[in-house]
Amino acid sequence: MTTPLRTGDLIAGRYQLERVLGIGGMGVVYRARDLLHEQFGEPCSSVALKVLGECFSECPDAHVLLYSEFSLARSLLHPGVVRMFGFDVDTRRQSAFFTMELMHGMPLDRLMLERPAGFGWHEWQPMALQLLDALAYVHGRGVLHGDVKPGNVMVAEAGIRLFDFGLGQSQAVTGLPGLDRHRISAWTPAYAAPELLSGAQLSATADVYGVACVLYEMAQGRRARERKLTQAPDRPRQLPRHCWSALRAAMAMDPTQRTITVAEVREALSGRSWRWFA
């Protein structure tokens, strides 16, 4: 049985927990001091440390699911994606965890609360392109994020960072453990593609839907789901007409109609035309 963690605890004889940074559907992220690096004079010794939440930590395969998230993200080397450090187990507490870079900035969902009318185009476009760059890279590496939402995007002076691959899957590597969708319902309804909520498998086009909903909310100031399911979304006031067709296609409720890729959405928002017909 795992022992609950608290601020001030020393993990694996090396990491001292300072405070909780965030609590998600599956895990808890702490800010921690790496005491080993401090001993060697490392000036930046703070890391982010993730463990599973109490409701998941008692599952027999919980540590395997945590390792799956770490394994998915550790090969992703992109300025717009959080960087993983290492996976370890505190044997005394029987608690698995992994460490990653400590990101500085504000989560996008908190920033959006300060912008109830949405972001203006000249602020929105660079942020949108950076987010799409990161997700396009992730897809290019054969990884699906699975939970693209404002709470999993960090906004800092250095730019946008995408994190939390807890619901992700690999298209390139087989044999990694996955989340049992029948046992655990962890999708965020406001940003999850309709087919995921109906029990379909995660796909690249589901990620497209999620990021499109995030971009729409950033521009419009309200969620795309705040409308009737049969009603087409209105064009955000800040969004030029020349790129609206691409974003609207990415938000198609029917996955068979959602044929646009993340890279094609990026091209459209950068000013290049996107052909909606074959």
Catalytic residues: 147
What is the per-residue DSSP string for 73-131?
HHT---TTBPPEEEEEEETTTTEEEEEE----SEEHHHHHHT-TT---HHHHHHHHHHH
Q: Tell me if 228 is assigned to a ligand binding site.
A: no
128, 215 contact by CB (below 8 A): yes
87, 183 contact by CB (below 8 A): no
For residue 52, give both structure tokens. Answer: 């599973």
Q: Residue 45 class from Cβ within 10 Å (0-12 exposed, 13-18 middle, 19+ buried)?
A: middle
| CA atoms within 13 A of residue 167's CA, in its CB half-sphere | 24
Determine the Cα–Cα distance for residues 188 and 161; give it in Å rounded to an integer: 19
Q: Give the residues across from 16 on adjacent strands.
A: 10, 33
For residue 235, give both structure tokens. Answer: 């064009």
Q: Which amino acid is at 196?
A: L
For residue 34, give both structure tokens. Answer: 């790496």
Determine the Cα–Cα distance for residues 274 and 99; give it in Å rounded to an integer: 40
- Residues within the annotated binding site? 50
- Residues within the annotated binding site for ATP? 50
